[in-house]
Each structure stands twice: as C-alpha cells, then as structure tokens.
Amino acid sequence: MGIITGVLVTAGFLKSFEVPIWVILSAHAAIALGTMFGGWRIIHTMGSRITRLKPRGGFCAETAAAVSILIATEAGVGVSTTHVITGAITGVGSIQRLKAVRWGIATQIVWAWLFTAPAAAIVAAAAYGAVRLFGLDK
C-alpha cells in the first residue's frame, strides 16, 4: 500500500501521502488471492516439508519470529517476515535433532531468496527500458 501510494503522490495523482481506501481494498484483495492460489503450497512447505511441526513447535516458532520482528522494528531494521519465520521453523526443527530438518529444502529456499533480488532487478530494468523505448518517461 505504501509503495502504490508513494507512486501516486510522486506522479501527482495525490496531494498528500494518505492511503486511499481503494488502494487498501486492492491490497487486501491481492493478498487474499495470493493466499488462496499459492498460500497452501507455502504453508505446506513451511509446516511439513522443512520439518514436521507439532502445535507446541509451531507456537515456539511463531513466538520467536514475532519477538525477532518486534526487536528488529524497534531497532529500525527492516526484515523479511518470511525469512524470519523460515529461520524460526528451521530452528525449532533443529532443536529436536539436526536430521529433523530437510536441509535440501531449506537450501532451495535460500537459493530462491538469493535469486529474487537480481531477477526483480532484471525485470525492472526491462520494464524501464520498454517505458523509455516508447517515450513514456516524459
């Protein structure tokens, strides 16, 4: 919502940085659709594929992630909630025993994180190139 509102302010569509209701509702819809179509796969990977979580392990992972995010927020450090919860789940699994964690899946997740930033940069550069090519940057 912040990014969309920032773009709207920068482009001159809004006079002040106040998030319009339609931006809020659009973000809610996008999050709901994303959860509906891709959320189960992520939840399944986090709760079953990395390590088997039981209710108390899930509680510990969620609590540890929440405390970590609160501390980071207070310190003014931006963190990815997905990275934090993945680390917490891996930590809960490894405390049971190291073999309880499927390290191959955890490694795949880390590689996906590492490739996300450069992939996003390439897509952004291509989009910017297309905008400049068609003279829409003026």
Tokens linked to 52: 């088997």
Tokens linked to 90: 């891996």
pLDDT in tens, 103-118: 999 899 889 889 998 9
pLDDT in tens, 42-75: 888 888 889 988 899 999 999 999 999 999 999 9
State the Cα–Cα distance between residues 116 and 83, nearest whole angstrom.
13
138 pLDDT higher than 70: no
Predicted confidence at residue 87, as pLDDT, reads 92
Q: What pTM was computed for the model?
A: 0.65
